[in-house]
């Protein structure tokens, strides 16, 4: 039993170390934030990261994609921003709060699942703070990021979310310990051309270079 515990602890330590190394290896080191452009935000709740995007900017319009009839109260669709995060379907749907997280759900997600979703919330303009990082993108960069988000969507009907302002949309790509919700956020930023770590499994590793 003691050997098993030590082995698990060693694997966790290696995973943490690998995450730090992956984040330290920066992609697009020459990128600099422009003085003007499209403002987005990266939200971090300590475990999971979301991209907060304007519904209409640089020729991108999210209104036809994330429609009012997908949420419980269509009035929230009047907000000008959407917060978008990717993750494992069962984990998202079964854990409305972190107090609802069960060990078996965590283990199942870490081992891998092909059932993933985008969690989309209609929100007001975020306020920059400790857990909310502002990023300004050039229009072309924002369009590349938006295309990555669109490519993450799969066919199928959305499912109502935790509240009246959010919904879950079927998504593409496999989730596992190497491809987490935070690596999805990091990859979206890398596709846009933003300076960010090459592998970002943890929230802190996403915002390290921002």
Q: Which residue has the tokens 């079964």?
A: 94
Q: What is the pLDDT of residue 9?
A: 57
Residues composing the chain = 210
Taking 70 as the pLDDT cut, the residues of the chain under it are 1, 3-12, 95-112
Q: What is the pLDDT of residue 56?
A: 97
The CA-atom distances, in angstroms, between 171 and each of 32, 131, 134 are 31, 25, 25
Q: What is the pLDDT of residue 90?
A: 84
Spell 136-173 as b/e; 16+ CB within 10 A means b.
ebbeebbbbbbebbeebbeeeebeebbeebbbbbbbee
Q: What is the pLDDT of residue 59?
A: 97
Q: What is the pLDDT of residue 101?
A: 57
Q: What is the pLDDT of residue 94?
A: 74
Give the Cα separation of 135 and 65 in Å (integer): 23
């Amino acid at each position: 039993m003691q050997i098993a515990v030590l082995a698990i602890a060693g694997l966790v330590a290696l995973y943490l170390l690998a995450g730090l190394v992956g984040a330290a290896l920066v992609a697009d080191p020459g990128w600099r934030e422009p003085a003007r452009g499209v403002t987005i935000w990266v939200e971090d709740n300590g475990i999971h990261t979301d991209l907060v995007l304007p519904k209409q900017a640089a020729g991108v319009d999210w209104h036809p994609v994330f429609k009012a009839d997908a949420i419980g109260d269509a009035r929230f669709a009047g907000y000008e921003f959407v917060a978008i995060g990717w993750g494992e379907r069962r984990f998202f749907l079964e854990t409305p709060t972190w107090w609802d997280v069960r060990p078996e759900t965590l283990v199942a997600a870490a081992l891998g699942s092909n059932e993933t979703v985008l969690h989309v919330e209609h929100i007001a303009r975020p306020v920059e703070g400790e857990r909310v990082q502002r990023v300004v993108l050039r229009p072309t960069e924002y369009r590349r990021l938006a295309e990555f988000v669109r490519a993450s969507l799969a066919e199928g009907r959305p499912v109502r979310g935790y509240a009246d302002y959010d919904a879950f949309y079927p998504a593409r790509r496999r989730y596992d310990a190497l491809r987490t919700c935070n690596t999805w956020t990091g990859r979206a930023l890398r596709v846009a051309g933003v300076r960010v770590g090459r592998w970002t499994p943890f929230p802190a590793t996403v915002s390290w270079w921002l």
